[in-house]
Structure 1
């Protein structure tokens, strides 16, 4: 499990020594990680006052309590990363229920919302598959807005922009058969 420090994924979340997060964006898997990083960038751009923590889970067994698995974390460690009372939006490349099963005994489990594989999609572009499973950056930003207390009204315009981006994607892919440039080029922009 990795909580980014300054210099490593620095554009993704607030530094560890910064304020307690308002929301945690967590991920496991390569595509979910890319989408969480893009979502974090969108949140920082559109909602700069919101404190975001990004946690990349490399070994999902770490979500288990330390007494249940050799890789498991203590409650203290888990709460230190995910918090006990803040919303956690977790993007996972598998079935969402697995993350819930691994973390159901944790203090903040009721604040955990997992996006993952829904078996939706067909032969299409990579980003369209992500959108079809509601695992895309725009949906993750909407989840942040929906789950952070008091943010839904304040950020209604931002949420609408995210909805509009999903609609633009839908129209663009049907017309051109490829992902929108802003999505396809994002990984190159993030590396700069």
Structure 2
């Protein structure tokens, strides 16, 4: 029997670097991987709304309500990412990101939709990552904000690479009106509703 709206549970989490966006292993090759289920005692039927790949971190919404998941994914809710890129990103590269670039997806070429993108003036105040990122001795890095209404697999990484500035660190900082704010890596907050 379908649970009523009030029986569904929703969570906002700060997914750590090195974790898969799933709750347990479905494959013997994944036994040594880190899963979200180790961060909290989540209820049966929990699912991630959109995923973050293993090397990405930041805001992830979880729910037991499949309709809510479909609604958020189907409404094309904005997702904002902070990407630390290799090199000092140029205005020309930012303009290309904004208008759309060609990336590979499912073995085909894909033109990304126009999005919001700008270079951050300062290094964002984010928690330290568990795995060290190369330091400035290997050349400069810069930070860019990219806000998408779509979410192809590894899209932000592919986009920054396409304009010549590969991503070194990727943090999702916002989904719709929900932001990371003061959350720390691994934090899990249960909420009544998302929007």
Query: TM-score under structure 2 normalisation?
Result: 0.27
Instruction: Tell me which protein shows more helix as a share of its residues.
Output: 1
Query: TM-score under structure 1 normalisation?
Result: 0.27
Name which structure has the greater RCO, CA cutoff 8 Å, separation 6+.
2
Instruction: Tell me which protein shows more strand as a share of its residues.
Output: 2
Larger radius of gyration: 2
